[in-house]
Amino acid sequence: MITINLRPGQKRKTGASPLAAARERFSAFGSRVKDPLLVAAIACWVLVVGGLGFIWLKNTRELAAIEPRLEQARAEHERFQTFINQKRRLELIRDSLVRQITVIRNVDGDRYVWAHVLDETAKALPPYTWIVDMGIVGTQTAAPAAAPAAGADSAASADSAALAPTPPLQFEITGRTVDIQAYTRFLRQLEASPWVTQVTPTSAQTVVENERPVTAFTIRATFERADSAYIRTVPLSESVR
């Protein structure tokens, strides 16, 4: 391409590119900088401070977004902790009541044993038959409880002693009858009782009492608590109008 200078007195200006101008400024700045290590250190510090600032801003935004969830989690933790503490208190109260009821049952369980024995014996007793003596066979002792471990609580040992099973009550009946069939009927009716088990005749012989021959017999049996279907409860007091 041919260019013609119409003004020969003036020198033609060539168009400068932006990259060339930037290169010239950078070269001028580099010529003024006498210590390039200092510039590199400053640039590193600028990058570090900028990175730390960016990380701080990012963590601040994340913390602001997490704080509501944290407060909600703390509130739920307090609520569930209160519920757990209340549940534990109720369980302690329940366990204490169960221990007290068990002790009361063990203490009061044998109070009406002889009442049941006498009642069932009287119901089973046929006519022309009477009882001379009734008593316990042998010595009724509680079953030995296991020895508590070393350092065990006294309350726990007391509860284990209270919960120790007691052996069944064995009793003996000595009676008289003028009819041998009444004696066998008495045995059958005793065996039919839900409170009496293991009815065993031990002796039966004819003796003379008041110048009359009678049959003297001895029976051994075991008291057993009947099923709840056979137990009838009545109120201790009734209102009278």
Number of residues that make up the chain: 241
State yes or no: pLDDT of 74 exceeds 70: yes
235 secondary structure, DSSP code: -
Tell me how far apart the terminal alpha carbons of the chain are, to the nearest angstrom: 138
Mean pLDDT of 82-87: 92
Instruction: Note the pLDDT of residue 169.
Output: 86
Give the residue-averaged pLDDT of 94-107.
87
Q: Is the pLDDT of residue 68 over 70?
A: yes
Q: Kindly report the average pLDDT of the chain as a whole number.
A: 78
The average pLDDT across 157-184 equals 76
Determine the Cα–Cα distance for residues 201 and 215; give it in Å rounded to an integer. Answer: 13
Q: How far is it, in rounded angstroms, from Cα 223 to Cα 29?
A: 116
Backbone angles phi, psi at 171, to 5 degrees: -130, 165
Those residues whose C-beta lies under 8 Å from the C-beta of residue 218, and which sit 6 or more positions away, are 172, 173, 174, 201, 202, 203, 204
List the single range of 2-6, 29-33, 167-171, 183-187 with lowest mean pLDDT. Answer: 29-33
Condensed to tens digits (0 to 9), the pLDDT of residues 121-159 reads 999 999 989 999 999 887 654 444 444 444 444 445 445
Asked if the model's pLDDT at residue 100 lies above 50, the reply is yes
Task: Identify the pLDDT of residue 102.
Answer: 86
Q: Is 13's pLDDT higher than 70? A: no
Q: When comparing pLDDT for 156 and 38, which is higher?
A: 38
